[in-house]
């Protein structure tokens, strides 16, 4: 077993990154509660710095670098939000960042990385190309690799999101998050089970990128081969650290179709008047698909990010 961040470590991470992130609000919708038959508290990480919870893990990882490491900067590969988050965290800390991005990444996410001061190195849109290109960059620059999700410091940072939810004083019966690489879900599960062991942790995952669901059921890590879903933030395969956390602390994973994701996404736009990216809508879709299971509960849902190409909304 790999080591997991403890509650004390997560609390220290929150203090460490506090001045670099937003304490995001929790929002509610009477209309959605009525449809769902439960009381939902949406933690709005779409309002987070760089428009996604990824700001937390990246800020934490950069803040924990040694002075020697800072000299050569940081590097990563990411299809999007981690890229922008790491570029911003590095710039704020006055160090360089090298971001390996698939050439197929949405234009809005490339633009964001550049605007935050990151240097983009493009590669073919597959995991192998990402990894070899990243290795070249690290060899050339001496930068420290900050993985997008399967990394202690990143999980510790993402765990601060649910820490803020618990600080609100709401006694959640269930907390839901989307799962891609598993950094947010892993961090959420750790914090929540440390603070409230009775609270259920349930993930939502797209049917077209259901490696976490299959891994969870098979109790062994099964990588995703050809993911295909509108939820572009969840295309990545689950990491080993996060798989171990999930097997210990997550209660269930529900899958949903792209059609269900789009319907929930539209519902959030129409009823809550907020902009979210498709990945964000996955937990609500999972709740509405299985709503008998949540009747009368207090449910926390993490809205993970709001970086969507507005010219390509699916409605």
Q: Cα–Cα distances in Å, from 106 out to 102, 160, 236, 289, 302?
A: 9, 27, 15, 29, 23
CB of 310 to a copy of itself, least distance (A): 5
Between residue 24 and residue 63, which ones bind a copy of itself under the rule CB under 8 A? 25, 27, 46-47, 51
CB of 47 to a copy of itself, least distance (A): 6
Between residue 189 and residue 248, which ones bind a copy of itself under the rule CB under 8 A? none
When asked if residue 276 is in the footprint of a copy of itself (CB under 8 A), the reply is yes
Alpha carbon distance 185, 208 (integer Å): 18
Whether 193 contacts 251, CB under 8 Å: no
Alpha carbon distance 174, 186 (integer Å): 15
**From candidates 11, 64, 266, 298, binder to a copy of itself by CB under 8 A:** 266
Q: Output the six-digit token pair for 269.
A: 């736009």
Between residue 296 and residue 315, which ones bind a copy of itself under the rule CB under 8 A? 306, 310-311, 313, 315
CB of 72 to a copy of itself, least distance (A): 29
Residue closer to a copy of itself, measured from CB, 32 or 250? 32
Between residue 100 and residue 129, which ones bind a copy of itself under the rule CB under 8 A? 108
Residue closer to a copy of itself, measured from CB, 45 or 258? 45
Residue closer to a copy of itself, measured from CB, 51 or 183? 51
Residue closer to a copy of itself, measured from CB, 266 or 289? 266
Angle between helices 152-167 and 54-63 (to 10 degrees): 120
Q: What are phi and psi of 128, to 5 degrees?
A: -60, -50
**From candidates 58, 87, 185, 275, binder to a copy of itself by CB under 8 A:** 275
C-alpha 114: how far from its chain's center?
A: 21
At residue 265, the 3 state secondary structure works out as helix
Between strands 200-206 and 252-256, the pairing is parallel
Which residues of this chain interact with a copy of itself, rule CB under 8 A? 25, 27, 46-47, 51, 108, 266, 269-270, 272-276, 306, 310-311, 313, 315
């Amino acid at each position: 077993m790999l080591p997991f961040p403890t509650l004390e470590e997560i609390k220290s991470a929150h203090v460490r990154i506090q001045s670099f992130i937003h304490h995001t609000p929790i929002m509610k919708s009477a209309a959605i509660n009525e449809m769902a038959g439960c009381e939902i508290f949406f933690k709005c990480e779409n309002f987070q710095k760089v428009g996604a919870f990824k700001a937390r893990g990246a800020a934490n990882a950069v803040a924990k670098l040694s002075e020697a490491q800072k000299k050569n900067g940081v590097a990563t590969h990411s299809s999007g939000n981690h890229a922008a988050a790491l570029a911003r965290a590095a710039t704020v800390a006055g160090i360089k960042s090298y971001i390996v991005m698939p050439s197929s990444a949405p234009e809005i996410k490339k633009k964001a990385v550049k605007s935050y001061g990151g240097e983009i190195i493009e590669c073919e849109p597959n995991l192998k190309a990402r990894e070899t290109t990243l290795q070249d960059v690290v060899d050339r620059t001496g930068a420290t690799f900050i993985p997008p999700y399967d990394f202690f410091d990143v999980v510790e940072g993402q765990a601060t999101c649910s820490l803020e939810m618990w600080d609100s004083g709401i006694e959640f019966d269930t907390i839901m998050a989307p799962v891609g690489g598993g950094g947010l879900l892993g961090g959420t599960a750790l914090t929540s089970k440390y603070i409230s062991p009775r609270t259920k942790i349930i993930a939502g995952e797209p049917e077209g990128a259901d490696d976490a669901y299959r891994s969870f059921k098979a109790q062994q890590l099964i990588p995703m081969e050809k993911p295909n879903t509108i939820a572009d933030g969840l295309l990545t395969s689950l990491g080993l650290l996060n798989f171990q956390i999930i097997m210990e602390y997550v209660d269930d994973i529900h899958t949903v179709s792209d059609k269900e994701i789009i319907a929930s996404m539209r519902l959030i736009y129409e009823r809550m008047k907020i902009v979210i990216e498709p990945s964000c809508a996955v937990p609500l879709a999972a709740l509405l698909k299985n709503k008998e299971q949540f009747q009368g509960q207090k449910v926390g849902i993490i809205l993970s990010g709001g970086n969507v190409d507005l010219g390509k909304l699916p409605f």
